[in-house]
Amino acid sequence: MSVRNTVCIAIDGEAAAGKSTLGKMLAARLGYLYFDTGVMYRAVAWAALQRGVDVHDEAAVTSLAEEIDIQLALPNRESGQHSSVFVDGVDVSAAIREPEVDQVVSIVAAHPGVRHVLRERQRQIGLTHNVVMVGRDIGTEVMPDADLKIYLRAPIEERARRRYLELRARGEEISYEQVLNSMRQRDYLDTHRAVAPLRVADDAIVIDTGDLSIEEMLAHVLEIVHLRVGARL
């Protein structure tokens, strides 16, 4: 396992459990890099849809993942996104959050070849920065040696409500039932894929966010951070 002198805080969990919002706020408070690894899979899924690549064809999607250039940058203030994401120089920050991408990203992320390509890129970032890294397999696969592992969960109805409100705020014409059904499918695919399924790392701290405000969540996690890795902050 690689030796590093940096601090990595891994945040895993279910879709819309609050990972991205918490991760961004925690990174800002600590002065760490914020890295949502899910945007890489979304970027590949978006590119596959744009180029007419069959998302079920592992070889084709893996080749696409190797081919495209994915870059992350600080977001524009007007974007409302957690980060700006570029694929081959094109800003896809909003496009990768569209329902069409939601429907296929778990299929793309289930391909072992795609996960191998992107995991290596993700791990290099984790080894070279003080980072809050967010995803679904950070503590189990990408950074199993993370200094702190947090796992977020919430009832699916609450997670669907959050995602529904997010999509409606962006002007999407979609029903709560559609979002709920999509999330059920996403949960199943995430937890049943053959490679790196979503699961709680043995040494992760599990937090149910269903009844917590983001401020309460952040305060709780900051306490844990200072207890677990305070000497290295």
- How many Å apart are CA 122 and CA 41, to the nearest integer? 11
Report how far residue 198's alpha carbon sits from residue 76's, in angstroms, rounded to the nearest whole number: 31
Distance between CA atoms of residues 61 and 114, nearest Å: 7
Give rounded-to-5 percent helix, strand, coil for the chain.
50, 15, 35
**Considering only CA atoms, which of 70, 46, 44 is closest in space to residue 58?**
44
Element of type H or E holding 201: none
**DSSP β-bridge partners for residue 8:** 131
Architecture of domain 8-226: 3-Layer(aba) Sandwich (3.40)
Q: Tens of pLDDT along the chain (233 residues)? A: 445 789 999 999 999 999 999 999 999 999 998 999 989 999 999 999 999 999 999 999 999 999 999 988 766 555 455 568 999 999 999 999 998 998 999 899 989 999 999 999 999 888 988 999 999 999 999 999 999 999 999 999 999 999 999 999 989 899 999 999 999 999 998 999 888 899 999 999 999 999 999 999 999 999 999 999 886 77
| Residue 33 β-bridge partners | 131
